[in-house]
Amino acid sequence: MKSKLNLDFKVVESARNHARNIARDMQEFIERHTTVSTERTILRLLGVDGVDDVDNPLPNVVVDQIKDAGALSTGVAYWIGNAVVQTGKDPQTIAEEMSHGKLDVLKLPTCSMEEAADALKPSIKKTFDRIDMQKAKRQEYLDTIGSGPEPFLYVIVATGNIYEDVVQAQAAARQGADIIAVIRTTAQSLLDYVPYGATTEGFGGTYATQENFRIMRKALDEVGEEVGRYIRLCNYSSGMCMPEIAAMGALERLDVMLNDAIYGILFRDINMQRTLVDQFMSRVIIGYCGIIFNSGEDNYLTTDDAVEAAHTVTASQFINEQFAVLANIPEEQMGLGHAFEMDPKTEDGFLLELSQAIMAREIFPKASLKYMPPTKFMTGNIFMGHIQDALFNLVAIWSSQSLLLQGMLTEAIHTPHMHDRYLSIENAQYIFNNCKHIGEEVEFKKDGIIQSRAQEVLGKADALLAEVEEEGLFETIQKGKFGGVKRPFDGGHGLEGVTTRGENYFNPFTKLFMDQDRKSTRLNSSHGS
């Protein structure tokens, strides 16, 4: 592809190589550790679900018992597999008996690792059958009713009540939305457990639970059949339960999941060791299931200056890409993030935003880029806000973005009403239609503002990645080089949940998710469908 920005792709390759080495270095750390949330994910994938008498999720009950006994380094899968061998009961029954104090899996006679693995095969097959059925159902919808054109219009619902969210989501689909993101209730990312069942109370959003996922998936399938296009469902595979929510998303056919390798560290103060281990487990699940992951680089620009810190976004995109490669995720499922967040008073700000967006597309040509609207400088002036969103929409169609979160003219005032959402979608559709081929028609002045800006940002990103490679990602984060936020190696939430793997550590799912036939994993992307 010829670069309209006159990018030097030797610099691109240099940046990618630095990022590759950074990710590989972190992978060595990841493969030496596990976490309570990763182990709970394994239980959920073995079919363990539900809560005990005081509403503690059974995966938490089981993992906590094994961890408190100092035996988590072997992996929960071995202890459950051994219990299946010794008792003849399935993982769900074993978990229930552990919760009632009727069974201590650590006091049972022990079998070989091979016997434990064989005992889990029926449960593992059942899980893969269910996930494969969901992948096939997605493909059936794409083959029959299809989907809207890119950029996919991505809107949020955030009532706190899953049943009211359904009303809002179906209305949005009828208005023209292609993706519905159910915003999580405030601070759920800091809960070290996943709530159970349907929920009707939340602040600023709705709890991410497996039942809520099921309810919304059913509702979107219904409205998708009505409007004649597949409506994608998005939620948040992030926070303290990152891999568990990815597993729930796989089982209930989510299509897009917020999932960033660094976001939780910077913006939720989750311990960096915990986050890096958890993101790998979450991504191997996402990769197999055909889910597009959204990375969170747009958040850097809410805490740092969008003009001065643009290169940190590009650098992080490279890092997120390489973490995804290690998890065997196809490029089409990489929703690498960025945002239209420059101060509207910036001279030629539109040109700088356009340069950044086109550069992202040229560097990551197959990625399902996620583009975020202006928020930082939105005010109560709805007319100015609507204009800012219009410029954002123009950049999006010009630079061939993939997933476009719709900006709302009432962004700084309240959770959007349905008519606010309609006006935003109308704004985008008007611009997309009238500027459909603008990216193919317009070229840029050699060494002009747009080209020079892209080259400058790319060069700075390459230099930053070289620094990160030399000092290590952990040290870079401690110094606050991303988002202007510093986090300590041994601080933040969740460090107590990190465990060093033993020599005989056993996790049956990682290899299976990465080695299975990947033919149908690209079905969630319009590039593949």
Residue range 84-121, pLDDT digits in tens: 999 999 999 999 999 999 999 999 999 999 999 999 99
Q: Give the single-character DSSP code of 327.
A: T
Residue 521 pLDDT > 70 = no
Whole-number pLDDT of residue 414: 85
Model confidence pLDDT, tens digit, residues 344-374 = 999 999 999 999 999 999 999 999 999 999 9
pLDDT-wise least confident of 33-37, 55-59, 233-237, 522-526: 522-526
Residue 523 pLDDT level (bands cut at 50, 70, 90):
very low
Cα distance between the two ends of the chain: 22
- At residue 383's C-alpha, the angle toward residues 380 and 386, to 5°, is 100
Residue 519 pLDDT level (bands cut at 50, 70, 90):
very low
Model confidence pLDDT, tens digit, residues 170-213 = 999 999 999 999 999 999 999 999 999 999 999 999 999 999 99
Whole-number pLDDT of residue 302: 87
Catalytic annotation on 298?
yes
Model confidence pLDDT, tens digit, residues 133-173 = 999 999 999 999 999 999 999 999 999 999 999 999 999 99
The residue with tokens 């281990």 is 277
From 67, 135, 370, 481, the catalytic residue: 370
Catalytic annotation on 370?
yes
From 193, 207, 263, 300, the catalytic residue: 263
Q: Give the single-character DSSP code of 338.
A: E
Mean pLDDT of the chain, nearest integer: 95
Residue 259 pLDDT level (bands cut at 50, 70, 90):
very high
Whole-number pLDDT of residue 496: 97
Q: Residues of the chain with pLDDT > 70: what percent?
A: 97
Catalytic annotation on 154?
no
Residue 385 pLDDT > 50 = yes
Residue 1 pLDDT level (bands cut at 50, 70, 90):
low
> Which amino acid, residue 182?
V
Residue 294 pLDDT level (bands cut at 50, 70, 90):
very high
Find how far residue 54's CA is from the centre of its chain: 31
Whole-number pLDDT of residue 525: 41
Q: What φ, ψ does residue 364 adopt, rounded to 5°?
A: -120, 70
Residue 522 pLDDT level (bands cut at 50, 70, 90):
very low
Model confidence pLDDT, tens digit, residues 403-420 = 999 999 998 888 788 899
Whole-number pLDDT of residue 352: 98
- Nearest of 235, 390, 370 to residue 313 by alpha carbon: 370
Strand 179-182 versus strand 232-236 pairing type: parallel
From 298, 389, 420, 462, the catalytic residue: 298
Single pTM value for the model: 0.94
As a whole number of angstroms, the longest Cα–Cα distance in the chain is: 75
SS3 state at 114:
helix
Model confidence pLDDT, tens digit, residues 390-404 = 999 999 999 999 999
Query: Do you know the residue count of the chain?
Result: 529
Mean pLDDT over 316-333 rounds to 96
Residue 333 pLDDT level (bands cut at 50, 70, 90):
very high
Mean pLDDT over 445-452 rounds to 97
SS3 state at 336:
coil
d(CA 509, CA 435): 46
- The contacts of residue 259 (CB under 8 Å, 6+ apart) are 237, 238, 242, 246, 279, 282, 283, 286, 293, 294, 295
Model confidence pLDDT, tens digit, residues 207-241 = 999 999 999 999 999 999 999 999 999 999 999 99
- At residue 267's C-alpha, the angle toward residues 263 and 270, to 5°, is 80
Q: Which two tokens stand for residue 91?
A: 């993982």
Mean pLDDT over 240-261 rounds to 96
Q: Which two tokens stand for residue 313?
A: 């976004």
